[in-house]
Structure 1
């Protein structure tokens, strides 16, 4: 057993805290599922929407951070982690929004949600978390459900689709990095501190990618929509996710985030008139089965520790 795993087990939160962690992560993922509806009403370059979102999140987190500090003293390596988190999150959001603009929502979301696979593979090495066959089974079940739910084969693939898929997969790599780095820094920085400090790095990087004159060309209503999204699923969702991540394993959190595309498709069916076929309904059920399997795997792991 590695030192990291021993430390994780010693510091493991009690059962009620873990259950709260599952609820918080699931709540954040549910809120993120509304982003397709938000972006549909805010036409602008991907870098601009990502930059606006990051500015709002960072400003929102400042007053929260002043009352939500962790007494631990951060070492230089921890601040390097914050810097990397800022770079990775900026690229995660930018690439994901860019994927939406290049290809279908199905292909963009499907490739973006390779994240749980990357986290499940990397967490035992990066975080020293125990590997469980049930967790990998949950990843496979949920991802297969995601394929059925989104059905990327319904659209003829073009060169733009391939570029969009590459952008989505790239965002998945950085999203997975965010989950792992957040977990490593959770004992040194609070959720609001993580959001604020990494935003100071991400904001200038994203604004540097905004095309000249893009902000002036965008309507005030589109900006208002992105700001509203940045406050809701952006800032509140981000804080909720990190609060939950502090209480549960990174692999479990990453699989629970598969609720995001499930919610997105249901929202589209209810509010955009995009009906669900039998295969999509089955896919949604499989995603939920995978999420339940993650939770039960967490209980099995706790029983082994206790």
Structure 2
């Protein structure tokens, strides 16, 4: 048992901030959620041939977690990218960020981390904040599909974090990021079929490819690198940098304004979430990583 190096928290924070930049690359393209998700997975899968290691596959629990991550991330990406495309961006990212609260509630059951008393108090506060946010004219209560897409993605994003935490027992951050992507791509094709295929020779594809490298490969790898040494519930506090970044982009780049009640609701969601997942916890033991390396 030992204290956690602050550098690992910084890696999680940098990854979450890069995730918040997704709207810059997705909104201008006009692609659907499944199309964007399939293209992103194809780019993230490119390093896969260089990351295959037999030693890692011998850890069946970590390998199973990698498979779960692949299926869940396909659904998470399709739903979240669809929410970002519909907009408002602030509604999409804040409903998506029910996930850290769900992680704080689920971590004791799945990862055997200490139960969070704050999570039980923070849940109703988060619901109040969402009600205020969605009850504004700009919040989209009359057309709740953006919120439903964002909230649905939150469930699978929660599973992503928990699965990637387990996969880090045997796989490196870059390996987790790349090896799960082919599984996600196959899942998207099985569910959406040809509707998941992006149009050929479209200049907008280059924008999604750039986002896949920056927000996908770089952002995910930084996040997974930090998550190997940071408790899942604690890392969730830093994940709120994503909706903060996304909300700022919605205001500054896309000209979205939620009004006083919407801003109050968004603030309640963010503050209650950070309060829940930043509850002081005892230092945890580092994740078990094979000394042979996995890519």
Name the TM tier (shorter chain): 0.7 to 0.9
Partner Cα distance (1:233, 1:145) in 2:
30
Partner Cα distance (2:260, 2:47) in 1:
41
Q: Is the 8 A contact 1:183 1:246 kept in 2?
A: yes
Report the counterpart of residue 125 of structure 1 in structure 2.
109
Report the counterpart of residue 61 of structure 2 in structure 1.
77
Q: Is the 8 A contact 1:259 1:287 kept in 2?
A: no
**Gaps spanning 5+ residues in structure 2: where?**
285-295
Q: Any idea what SS the aligned residue of 1:223 has?
A: helix
Report the counterpart of residue 194 of structure 2 in structure 1.
211
Q: Does 1:302 align with 2:289?
A: no
Partner Cα distance (1:102, 1:271) in 2:
16
Match of 1:259 among 231, 241, 244: 241
Match of 1:37 among 15, 24, 33: 24
Partner Cα distance (2:229, 2:68) in 1:
22
- Using the TM superposition, give the Cα deviation of residue 153 of structure 1 relative to its aligned residue in structure 2, in angstroms: 2.0
Q: Is the 8 A contact 2:39 2:198 kept in 1?
A: no
Report the counterpart of residue 215 of structure 2 in structure 1.
233
Q: 1:14 to 1:251 in 2, by over 3 A?
A: same
Partner Cα distance (2:47, 2:212) in 1:
9
Partner Cα distance (2:46, 2:175) in 1:
11
Partner Cα distance (2:177, 2:66) in 1:
9
Superposed CA deviations along residues 252-272 of structure 1, whole A, max 9, x for unmatched, are 222321221111121233333
Q: Is the 8 A contact 1:31 1:233 kept in 2?
A: yes
Q: Any idea what SS the aligned residue of 2:9 has?
A: helix
Q: Is the 8 A contact 2:37 2:77 kept in 1?
A: yes
Report the counterpart of residue 225 of structure 2 in structure 1.
243
Bigger helix share: 1
Partner Cα distance (2:145, 2:181) in 1:
27
Match of 2:91 among 100, 107, 112: 107
Number of paired residues? 280
**RMSD, aligned α-carbons:** 3.3
- Using the TM superposition, give the Cα deviation of residue 213 of structure 1 relative to its aligned residue in structure 2, in angstroms: 9.1
Q: Does 1:185 align with 2:187?
A: no
Partner Cα distance (2:196, 2:69) in 1:
28
* Deviation >6 Å, runs of 4+: 138-141
Partner Cα distance (2:25, 2:250) in 1:
11
Partner Cα distance (1:105, 1:252) in 2:
25
Report the counterpart of residue 40 of structure 2 in structure 1.
53
Normalised by the length of structure 1, the TM-score is 0.77
